[in-house]
Structure 1
Amino acid sequence: MSQVVAAPTTTAVEVPSIPLGQIAPWALFFGLVATLVLFFVSAEQGAFSLSSGTLVHEFVHDGRHLLGFPCH
């Protein structure tokens, strides 16, 4: 005697859409923050430093070499 197995039923999943007007300010904000972080890791040598000395340079020194940016 053979058994009949019922096929699983599928349900449609709706993907919510997010309007561009809601994403754009956040994308701009995080893009500017990413650019600022990239500047401090790659090019900041103390000329635009917010603190005196080489505090920022020493803080990002190992990350700079890890990403392939020379600094000395």
Structure 2
Amino acid sequence: MATIAASFDDAFIPISGGNAIPLDDILPWALFGTLIATIFLYFVSTEQGAYAFFDGMYVHEYVHDGRHLLGFPCH
């Protein structure tokens, strides 16, 4: 029994909730992740469809299968 209890006594795994990450440290990463996700969603859902930033069909062909996988119609 002592060896099982000792395996959970690790300094890198906080057991109590006293070491919470402050919101000021999380907020910039959460905003960055939201921005990247929004850009990705735009390219998969809209680019080369109703609106296009780039000429040609390169972006459309690159994300074509992802559009169908996520349920976006494209043709």
Sequence identity (%): 55
Q: Is the 8 A contact 2:43 2:59 kept in 1?
A: yes
Choose 23-32 or 10-19, whichever is displaced more: 10-19
> TM-score, normalising length from structure 1?
0.73
Q: Is the 8 A contact 2:46 2:52 kept in 1?
A: no
Q: 1:48 aligns with which of 33, 46, 52?
A: 52
1:13 matched to which residue of 2?
15
Q: What SS does the corresponding residue of 1:44 show, helix, strand or coil?
A: coil
Paired with 1:33 and 1:52, the residues of 2 have a C-alpha distance of 22
State the Cα distance separating 1:68 from its structure 2 match: 0.7
Query: Which digits, 9 at most, give the CA deviation of each residue in 1:2-35, with x for residues without a partner?
Result: xxxxx65686823431100011011001101101
Structure 2 stretches lacking a partner, 5+ long: none
- Output the aligned Cα RMSD: 2.2
Find out whether 1:38 has 2:41 as its counterpart.
Answer: yes
Structure showing greater Rg: 1
Between Structure 1 and Structure 2, the one with more helix by share is: 2
> TM-score, normalising length from structure 2?
0.71
Paired with 2:33 and 2:21, the residues of 1 have a C-alpha distance of 17
Structure 1 stretches lacking a partner, 5+ long: 1-6
1:66 matched to which residue of 2?
69
